[in-house]
């Protein structure tokens, strides 16, 4: 029997060394208490502290152990909700402003990495390919993105696409030169180090149980202690919906999977760019430093980690690239994202004054940086640009019923994708 997965360890965890941060064991005071140490919490804490606000970050487990340290590592502008959806909700001018904010997040990640550890950059560019013949939509999309959103995209016909991706599954594609891909866990750990250097106090293994109003501030309670803070910012994604009910009840947990092969000698993926296809639950993959193929895909609201994960992911790779043979899978893992019903981030302040920055869905590397900046600027009284997200306020996601509805819509969309592919075969 082949020896496939090293259980519970991602390739990312296997390729970093972590520093530990002590759990909270007493009562302390701060101006800002950030709950959750994923990218959203880390950037928020770092940027609050940089603005002179004494900040404490409480992380229930280890920093960046959630989606932030387990994701595909693609960094590109935009949101989980596509530009067409944003345009139809808020109109052209507001959509342009939102897109520009999302680009500020991409710039933040790039600048942080360039300034502190360029080795975290795994490659530049992102190619998004169709798995069915284009009917003209791709070219007009390219023109709109360049004209209205200042996002230059390069169009490739079928022949050019297949020079880079040697697979009959692909037809036309678009390349974004502004996108890049990174080691996300190393980026999260870098953010934590920068935060501590700036003066943030981080406590790991410190699960927050509640956050309640106390005089003019809040008390954030954990098993071992509590933080009395003037401001609280909730950044726990879909993982602890009870801690901040207004944002927690608006979240749906959605799982997706990643597998990493052994180092490959191959000639079918001929690009160092990140690659994705346009299906609703499509594949996303990239070659990483030592010739390993990091392959992500599938999307489900059923959170359990399938025991046959390695075999499933290998099957997905070979369906696109039979030329790969049957690569050995050295690592495979699941990750949990948080989505709001409208697929846009939830960024704002509730009626009591508690802040939230969450629901980044499958497009969180840039948008968490953007959100951290917006919240820190709002808290420091610099501006209220965070209000641009008011049209996307938290709305109840219908609990278990919402999950079933979303799972049903994934199945329906996947069936549509298969039908479109079948027509092009
Ligand atoms: C497999 C996968 C692939 C993805 N690929 C990409 C990609 O290529 N590009 C992209 O842009 N996005 C991608 N995403 C999405 C992106 O990773 C997320 O949107 C983003 O990381 C969310 O960050 P976050 O800080 O909101 O949440 P998380 O990273 O999940 O962080 C939340 C943190 O809160 C902590 N926490 C929870 N409850 C408590 C509590 N009660 N007290 C204290 N702490 C608590 C958790 O331990 C966790 O560390 C992917 C996601 C997954 C799962």
pLDDT digits (tens, 9 = 90+) for 27-84: 999 999 999 999 999 999 999 999 999 999 999 999 999 999 999 999 999 999 999 9
4 lies in some domain: no
SS3 167: coil
Q: Residue 306 domain-assigned?
A: yes
In a domain, 374, yes or no: yes
Closest-lying ligand 1 atom to the alpha carbon of residue 258: 1
Q: How confident is the model at residue 1 (pLDDT cuts 50, 70, 90)?
A: very low
Among 185, 110, 126, 207, residue whose Cα is nearest residue 335: 185
Which residue blocks in 68-165 are alpha helix, DSSP H? Answer: 83-90, 92-116, 137-149, 158-164
Please, are residues 173 and 156 in contact by the beta-carbon 8 Å criterion?
yes
Chain centroid offset of residue 117 CA: 20
β-sheet bridge partners, residue 127: 175, 275
Residue to probe by mutation, ligand 1, list 38, 250, 297, 367, most atoms within 8 Å of CB: 38
H or E element at residue 195 = helix 184-198
How many angstroms separate the CA atoms of 174 and 381, rounded? Answer: 40
Tell me: pLDDT of 104 over 70.
yes
Backbone angles phi, psi at 334, to 5 degrees: -110, 160
Number of domains comprising the chain: 1
Give the mutation target among 68, 103, 205 for probing the ligand 1 site: most ligand atoms within 8 A of CB.
68
Q: What is the mean pLDDT of residues 358-364?
A: 96
Q: How many CB atoms lie within 10 A of CB 418?
A: 13
| Cβ-based burial of 96 (10 A; exposed 0-12, middle 13-18, buried ≥19) | middle
CATH number of the CATH domain containing 36: 3.50.50.60
**138-143 average pLDDT score:** 92
Tell me which residue range forms the domain holding 273.
11-424
Let me know if residue 3 belongs to a domain.
no
Question: Does residue 90 have a pLDDT over 60?
Answer: yes
297 Cα–ligand 1 center, Å:
16
Q: Is position 6 within any domain?
A: no
Q: Cα 45 to the chain's mean position, in Å? A: 18
The answer to whether residue 381 sits within a structural domain is yes
pTM of the model: 0.94
pLDDT of residue 281: 80
Is residue 237 in some structural domain? yes
404 in a structural domain: yes
* 3-class secondary-structure state, position 172: coil
């Amino acid at each position: 029997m082949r020896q496939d997965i090293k259980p519970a360890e991602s390739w990312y965890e296997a390729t970093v060394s972590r520093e530990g941060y002590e759990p909270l064991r007493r009562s302390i005071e701060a101006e800002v208490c950030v709950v959750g140490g994923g990218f959203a919490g880390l950037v928020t804490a770092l940027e609050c502290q940089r603005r002179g606000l004494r900040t404490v970050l409480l992380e229930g487990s280890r920093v960046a152990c959630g989606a932030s340290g387990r994701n595909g590592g693609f960094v590109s502008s935009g949101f989980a909700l596509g530009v067409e959806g944003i345009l139809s909700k808020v109109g052209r001018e507001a959509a342009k402003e939102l897109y520009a904010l999302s680009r500020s997040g991409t710039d933040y990640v790039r600048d942080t990495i360039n300034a502190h550890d360029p080795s975290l950059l795994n490659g530049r560019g992102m190619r998004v390919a169709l798995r069915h013949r284009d009917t003209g939509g791709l070219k007009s999309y390219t023109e709109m993105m360049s004209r209205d959103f200042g996002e230059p995209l390069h169009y490739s016909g079928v022949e050019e696409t297949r020079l880079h991706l040697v697979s009959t599954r692909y037809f036309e594609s678009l390349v974004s030169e502004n996108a890049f891909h990174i080691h996300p866990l190393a980026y999260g750990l870098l953010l934590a180090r920068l935060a501590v250097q700036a003066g943030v106090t981080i406590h790991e293994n410190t699960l927050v149980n509640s956050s309640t109003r106390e005089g003019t501030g809040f008390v954030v309670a954990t098993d071992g202690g509590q933080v009395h803070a003037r401001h609280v910012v909730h950044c726990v994604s879909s993982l602890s919906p009870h801690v901040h009910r207004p944002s927690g009840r608006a979240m749906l947990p959605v799982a997706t999977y990643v597998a990493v092969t052994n180092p490959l000698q191959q000639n079918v993926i001929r690009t160092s760019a990140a690659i994705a296809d346009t299906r609703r639950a499509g594949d996303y993959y990239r070659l990483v430093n030592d010739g390993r193929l990091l392959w992500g895909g599938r999307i489900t609201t059923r959170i359990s980690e399938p025991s046959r994960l390695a075999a499933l992911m290998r099957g997905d790779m070979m369906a696109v690239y039979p030329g790969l043979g049957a690569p050995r899978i050295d690592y495979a893992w699941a990750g949990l994202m948080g989505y709001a019903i409208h697929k846009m981030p939830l960024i704002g302040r509730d009626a009591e004054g508690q802040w939230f920055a969450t629901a980044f869905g499958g497009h969180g590397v840039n948008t968490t940086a953007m959100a951290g900046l917006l919240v820190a600027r709002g808290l420091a009284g610099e501006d209220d640009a965070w209000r641009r997200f008011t049209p996307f306020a938290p709305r109840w996601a219908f609990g278990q019923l919402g999950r079933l509805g979303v799972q049903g819509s994934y199945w329906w969309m996947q069936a549509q994708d298969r039908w479109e592919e079948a027509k092009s075969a």
